[in-house]
Structure formats: C-alpha cells, structure tokens
Structure 1
Amino acid sequence: MNYSMISYILGWIFNFEAAFMLLPGITAIIYREKDGLAFLVTMIICLAIGIPLIRTKRKNKVFHAKEGAVTVALSWLVLSIAGALPFVISGSIPHPVDALFETVSGFTTTGASILSDVESLSHCILLWRSFTHWIGGMGVLVFILCLLPLTGGYHMNLMKAESPGPSVSKLVPKVQSTAKILYTIYILMTVVEMVFLLLGGMPLFDTLCLSFGTAGTGGFGIKNDSIASYSTYNQIVITVFMILFGVNFNAYYLLLSKKVMQAAKNEEVRYYLGIIGLAIVAIAVNTRGMFTSFGRAFQQAAFQVGSIITTTGYATTDFNVWPVFSKTILVILMFVGACAGSTGGGIKVSRLLILCKSARKELQLYLHPNAVKKIKMDEKAIPHEVVRATNMFLFVYIMIFVTSLLVISLDNLDMISNFTAITAALNNIGPGLGAVGPTGNFGCYSYISKLVMIFDMLAGRLEVFPLLLLFKRDTWRKF
C-alpha cells in the first residue's frame, strides 16, 4: 500500500473542502448570519491538516487499482466528516451522528434528512446542504483530476473507483482531459438550469440551492414541502433537468462532438427514457382521479418518476397516499436508477441490461449447448470481466441490503418504512414510503440504524467494492 500517495491526495481533499466552504461563508456574510463562523473554523481545521499532508515527500508514486479504491473510499469519509463540522459547530445539528448522516446524505446525493423543519436553518447552512449535492454529484476525485497536475498512470484507477457504472471509459486519450470535459458539461448544464429557473421568477438563493440539488440528483429542499410550493413552470424545468442529469454524460459528449447518430444508438439511454415514459403514463392513468385533470396527473407523475429513477428525491406531492400500483412502480424505479456515467444512483440501467442479456444467453445455451454467444451492448461485445463484476455487484448489493434491513428492524418500525429506508439509502434516493415518505424524515431511527444507513449511502455511491476494501486486512499491507 502506497501510504504517501494516499495521504497526499487526502491532503488535497481537505484543502479543496476548505475552498468549497467559501461559498456558504460568503452567503453568511451577505445575510449577516453568525453560523458563518462555523465554516471559518472548519476551513482552518481543514487547511491545518491538508497543507502539511500535501507537502510530505512521496518516495513512491506507484498507484495501483487497490490504492485507487482505498483513496476514493477514504476521501469520501474525510469529505463527509469534515463537511459535518459546520452543522455541529453552528448547533444546527448538534449530535455528531445526525450531522454525519445529513452530510453523507448530501455528498452521496441521497437527500435523506433527519431534519423536520429545514426552513428554520440559516441561509448559509441551507446552501451548504445543497452544495454538497453538487460537489458529490460528479465526484470530488474527478474534480481534483481536472485541476491538479497529477502525473503517472494512476488517474484511471481513481476515476474507475469513483465513477458510477459497470465500466468506465475515457472520452479522450488523457484521463485529465476526460475529467475536464465531464465537469465542463456538468457546469454548463447547471448554469442553463439556473437561467431557466430564474426566468420562471424563482429567487436567486432558491435557484442556486435547487439547481445544485438537481444537478447532483440529490434532493435536499430548502422548504418543508420540498418543491410543492413552486410554480408549475419551475416544477417542469426541474423535472426535465432531473431526467437530463440522469443520462450518461458520454452521450452529451457525442452530441457536442456532432456524433448525433452514435449518441442516438446508445442502448442504455434509449431504455432509460423508455422506462421513464412507460412509468409516467402508467402512474398518470392510475392517479387520474386524485388530480383536477389528466394533464395535472401527468405532470405530477412525470416529476415523481423523474425524481425517483434519477435518485434525486424532490417531491411535489405526497406519493405516500397514491394507489398501491403507482407506489409499486416508484419502488421498482428506486432499484433501477439512472444511467451509468451520470450523477444518478441506483443499480443503473446498464447493469440491468447486462443481467437481462446474460439471462437470455443462458436460456439460449440450454437450447443450443454448443452455440457461442456473446453479450453485446451498442453493437460491441461486453468483456467477460464486466459481466462477472456485474453479477458480483448484484450479489454483494443484495447481501448488504438484507443485512442492513435486519439491523434496522430492531427499531421496531413497520416493514414498509424499513424496506424503503434501506432502498433509499443504498440507492441514494432520499425519501421512501411510510415513516420516511416525502412528508417524513429519517430522524425516527436510532443512531445505530443511522450509522448503518450512512454505510449504505457511501456503499451505494461508491458502488460497494471500494468501501468494502477498507475492511479487508490484505488491503493495508505494504508493497
């Protein structure tokens, strides 16, 4: 294990987190809020740790996949612990476990909250909650790859460990250039959404917070009713952008490169949009009687489908009272998730496609045992390693899900609340059903259960394996 390189990158994590806190700090100055002192104290702590770490000499710059996975997992832990300090120091969320839950939920773009009254929070704290979504959406290590003059062959090991999906590929030959392209698209789309929301009459502060949440597919609202009190126009804008941020960013790069036909052939994106369309129509028809018109039912169905499948978690209505059929569709969408290479969570459409194609291949082999069949996506053969990794991901995912569900059941809440709470945490969604529905929160769970869900949120964002490596003894052996 190359500890010097890991500590070097962790040092930059601390330094960048200090820089990120400038935005809520400036917000505190504008609104003259004393909570801004919490960000100043946290910035000093981060820099006091980060600056010495980046100045340490690195004797060995070899950086294998193991170091990449461990660095990513530790980076997210460090990011979350430091990010929780302003909540504790300001007294907004005094208990460390609650503060860590809220922060991990922010950075992992889950959007699950233990707060029952977010409107009582200061502007700088509200902005920090939403900004954590934007930081975590594309990934902090991807951000570092954009800015730091890192050299060597370890870039891809960092990017693979942090980027969501069964496989990660470079858009251009250099990994650093790929990271810059991804963040350029990310920033441009965020700015475009801000413009549309401002045109709809949304206040600037609200626009910033909700755009950060939408871009990161997070879901922290700044009002107790989430998005319900905003105009239909702004709800539609957020719906469209939630769905757009759930698309594989490779497709956007192809569009920008004027490779429209190649982008249109992206199998995952086609299925993703198809699933959204079918779910919207099914729910709109099923909930027609609960709204004044079919158009209104369609709009509300579109918002909730877009919010759930992209794992954003915003809400415009209490879907807890919807018919069982509609709620069942939403729960299924929680597992489906968005596209690989997007800011969304869940299992990912690409993984489900691989699993379905693997099942079809097995059926064909039963009929034709000597046939040679390859699983293809976008007219390209999928490597066996990717199929194997997808199968193992699903197995470990189920084991974590079942174990987590068993532990939190000790709190004696109802099965629907427990099941959807773990679903929401592991898939980085936010609200579930029952006690953790859109009008509820996760404050009803014990600290043990919250720690379990903190682990689940991190495991879901990091696609399970990087986090699990931290608990394996062989991981920490030196070269």
Structure 2
Amino acid sequence: MNKRIIVKTIGKIILTEAMLMLPSLLISLIYQDGDAIGFLLTIIGAGIAGTGLMRVKQPEGRMSSRDGYFIVASAWIFISLIGAIPLYIGGGFESFPSALFEIVSGFTTTGASVLARPEDLGHGVLFWRSFTHWIGGMGVLVFVMMVMPMENDNSMHLVRAEVPGPTAGKLVPRMRTTSMILYGIYGIMTLVLAILLLIFGLKPFDSFCIAFGTAGTGGFAVSSAGIAGYNSLAVEMILSIFMLLFGVNFSVYHLILLKKFKDAFFDEEVRIYFGIVAVSTLAIAWNIFHYAGGLGNALRQSLFQVASIITTSGFATVDFECWPEFSKHLLVLLMVIGACAGSTGGGMKVSRVLILVKSFFAEIRQIINPREIVTVRINGKPINKKTLNSTRVYAAAYMILVCVFTVIISLDGLDLTTNFTAVLSCFNNIGPGLNRVGPMANFSVYSDWVKVVLSVVMLTGRLEIFPMFLLFARSAHDR
C-alpha cells in the first residue's frame, strides 16, 4: 500500500471535518449553551492533526483501488471518533460509546439514537448531529474532493469505495466537477426544503435541522416528539415528497438538468422504486384503515412511514409498533430494499434487488433452455458479469452478516425481534426498529459494548461491507 498517500488523504479529511464543525461552534456561541468549549477544543485538535498529516511528502505514483478502500474505511472511523468528542464533552451522553453511537448514526444517516429527550442537549450539539446527516448523506470524501483538489484517477478510487450501489460512475470526465454538480443539486434541494418548512411554521433552527436530516435521509429530530410534534399535514406531506426525492439516484437529476427527460423519467430503477412506494402505501393504508380512523388518516400515515422507511430516513409520526403484523412485516421488507443506488438512502438498493430478481428468472430460463444465451438487462443494457457477481456476493454477505451480528448482540439478553430489527435498522441505516427499539423508543436499552458493535454495523452498512472488511484483511496491508 502507498502509506504516504493514505496518511496525506486522511489528513485532508480530518482537516475538512474540523472546518465543518465551525457552524456548530457558531450556533453554540449564539445560543450560549455551554458546548462551545467542546467544539473549540475538537476543532483545534483536529486542525493540528489534519495539518500535520497533510505535510507528509507524497511520493510519485498513484492511488490503487486497494488504497482507496483502505482510506474510505479508515476515514469514516476517524471522523466518527473525532466527531463524538464534542458530544461527550458537552455532557449529554453517559459514556463515550453512547456519544460514538450517536455520531456514527449521524454520519451514516441512520438516525438511531440513545437519547430519550434530544431537546435537553445544547443547540450546538443538536445542530452538529443533524449536520452530520447532511455531510454523510452524499459522502464525506465526495465533499473533500470538492473542496480539496485531487488527481482524477485517485478520486475515482475513493468514489467507488464510498458511493452506494452496485456501480459508481462519473457524471462528467473530471471527478471534482462531478462532486461539485452533486453537491450543487443536493444543496439547492436542501435549501428549498428548509424554506418550505419555514413557510409552513417551523422555527429557523428546526427547519434547517429537519432539512439536513431529510436530505441525508437520516432522521434525527430536535425534540422527543419528533415530526409528530409539529402536528401539521403540510409539513408531513412536504417531508414525504422530499424524502422520496432524496431517495432517487442523483444522476437522474443531472439528466434532467441536461434536458434528457426521456432517459430520466424512464429509468427502470426509478420506476420500480416509485412503484414499490405506491403499492406499499396502498397496502398499508388498507391494512391500518380501522387503526387510523378513516381513509384520509390511513393514507397520510401510510405514505409518510413508507417514504421514511424505504428511503431509510427513519422519521416517524405514529407508533407503527402498534400496527397490524402485515404492515410491520411490509415495513421490514422495505428496510431491506431501501432507496435507489446513487441516492442518499441506505438499504440493499432497488437496483441490486432488481438485478437479483432478474438473475433468478434468467437462471430458470437457462435451466429450461441450456443452449439459450440469457442476459440480465437494466434499462435495456446487459449487466456485465463482474457487476452480477459482485451483486450476488454482496447479497450473500449481507444475509450472513445480519445473522452473525444479531447473534452477537443477543449476548446482551434482549429478545429476537428487538435484536434482529436493531441490526437490520443499523445495517440499512434506517433508525427505528421494532419492539424495544421501535419508533417511540431508543437504543439506550443496550449496553456500551453493544453500542460499539452496532456502530460497526452502521459503518459496515453505509460503506456496503467491503471497505470495512478490507481494512482488517491482512493481505490488504501487504505491499
């Protein structure tokens, strides 16, 4: 491995995180909530460390794919450890593992929390935990590439390791320009959402925190009442629409900007994604009709929770733990499917599910007609064998790891439903699970060591398994 380029790049990332903490420091000073010292010390320490690492003389040569995966996994661990420091210093968390769990949940856009009353935290910490959703939604390293120039070939290795989905590509030839386009679209959509929330009655602080959580499909709220506390149909509908929009592959928005409307609107993954949303919303609305007290409320509650779960946003307006079993099972299925590839959402991704389903039927056709050449196609284009193989391996690893992590945390003594949905929620970066980690509960029921394990689960899910395992693979460290 090219250790010097790894160290130098991680230095850039740490320095960028220090700069990204400045708005939270400013918020803390404005509200005089006592958290400013924690942010100030962390910013200074991270700034010194990042600058020192960046001063390493970079040798000639380029970053390899292996280096890219190693940098991404290491960077996410470092930014999580550093990001948790102001939370712990602020005193709102009983232990560092609790603060670490919270900030990992922020950066990975999971939205799972150990807090019963978020409103007891200072405004600076509340802003920081919501802002980490926005940073992590599009990708920390994608942001770094936008603000700090990097060789195009090197940056592409980082994108492949960090951007969710079976494949990663560039919108334009230069990766830095691609990252600027992505963050431009992302930033404008976030600002529009924040303005709409302001118009419909939310306070400025709440509007931006909720907008950050929606954009990153995270789910942190600023109070224990969550979105339900605003008691506004308009707010719920706006958030439902924007959650679904942020769950769409951002390359589709780039196609719209290029006026390639046919390519954008007839994208197969997007059509399947909205089809799943429509069918699930109607099915759950039918199932909860009597619980919701009428068709209007049933559709309102169903649409919001379907949008929240499939995009892995994790917001909740009702306690769906009380819904019928059919609705809860359907929501768990949506947890697994997730949003589109190349979006800010988590889960397995609609594109992967689509490839797996088509592969299944292709295999049946091949068995029936052994001499026929059967290909799997998405948007009319054949999927290459490398993508097919990586998708199948990912699906197998996904199922194995969910089972293994569920067994590990069962040592804490909680029931199967709680443990399984907690792992599923963390792995898919959703937020709420069922039973003792349901939408109106939190993850404080777990001991500190389980919170650390679930932090690893969140990172593994956000980085889609392979970067985290490559970090600890012995062969990856050999030159």
Secondary structure of 2:58's partner? coil
**1:71: which partner in 2?**
71
C-alpha separation in 2, matches of 1:450 and 1:116? 16
Per-residue deviation, 1:292: 3.3
Match for 1:452: what amino acid?
Answer: V
Runs of 5+ unmatched residues, structure 2: none
Task: Tell me whether 89-98 or 345-354 shows the greater mean CA deviation.
Answer: 89-98
**1:96: which partner in 2?**
96
C-alpha separation in 1, matches of 2:17 and 2:153? 25
| Contact 1:318–1:438 under 8 Å retained in 2 | yes
Task: Tell me whether 342-351 or 143-152 shows the greater mean CA deviation.
Answer: 143-152
C-alpha separation in 2, matches of 1:355 and 1:32? 53
**1:418: which partner in 2?**
419
Match for 1:460: what amino acid?
Answer: G
Match for 1:306: what amino acid?
Answer: A
Deviations 1:99-135 (A, max 9, x none): 1111100000000111111111111111111001000
| Contact 1:87–1:94 under 8 Å retained in 2 | no
**1:273: which partner in 2?**
274
**1:24: which partner in 2?**
24
C-alpha separation in 1, matches of 2:15 and 2:209? 23
Per-residue deviation, 1:61: 3.6
Provide the TM-score with structure 1 as the length reference: 0.99
C-alpha separation in 2, matches of 1:276 and 1:260? 22
Secondary structure of 1:346's partner? coil
* 1:250-399 equivalences in 2 (<5 Å): 250-399=251-400
Superposition RMSD in Å: 0.9
Per-residue deviation, 1:159: 0.4
**1:216: which partner in 2?**
216
* 1:417-436 equivalences in 2 (<5 Å): 417-436=418-437
Secondary structure of 1:470's partner? helix
C-alpha separation in 1, matches of 2:201 and 2:101? 33
| Contact 2:4–2:56 under 8 Å retained in 1 | yes
- Alignment of 1:159 onto 2:155: no
C-alpha separation in 2, matches of 1:467 and 1:290? 43
C-alpha separation in 2, matches of 1:398 and 1:412? 22
C-alpha separation in 2, matches of 1:36 and 1:194? 25
Task: Tell me whether 467-476 or 344-353 shows the greater mean CA deviation.
Answer: 467-476
- Alignment of 1:14 onto 2:14: yes
Same amino acid, percent of matched pairs: 46
| Contact 2:84–2:99 under 8 Å retained in 1 | yes
| Distance of aligned partners of 1:53 and 1:61 in 2 relative to their CA distance in 1, 3 Å threshold | farther
Secondary structure of 2:72's partner? helix
| Contact 1:334–1:424 under 8 Å retained in 2 | yes
Secondary structure of 1:153's partner? helix
C-alpha separation in 1, matches of 2:424 and 2:23? 32
* 1:40-189 equivalences in 2 (<5 Å): 40-189=40-189
Per-residue deviation, 1:177: 1.3
**1:467: which partner in 2?**
468
C-alpha separation in 1, matches of 2:118 and 2:44? 27
Match for 2:215: what amino acid?
Answer: A
Match for 1:82: what amino acid?
Answer: I
| Contact 2:248–2:339 under 8 Å retained in 1 | yes
Give the number of aligned pairs: 478
| Contact 1:161–1:462 under 8 Å retained in 2 | yes
C-alpha separation in 2, matches of 1:163 and 1:273? 22
Task: Tell me whether 277-286 or 146-155 shows the greater mean CA deviation.
Answer: 146-155
Provide the TM-score with structure 2 as the length reference: 0.99
Runs of 5+ unmatched residues, structure 1: none
C-alpha separation in 1, matches of 2:451 and 2:229? 29
C-alpha separation in 1, matches of 2:237 and 2:229? 13
Which segments of structure 1 move beyond 2 Å, counting only runs of 4 or more?
Answer: none
C-alpha separation in 2, matches of 1:169 and 1:56? 30
C-alpha separation in 1, matches of 2:268 and 2:405? 33
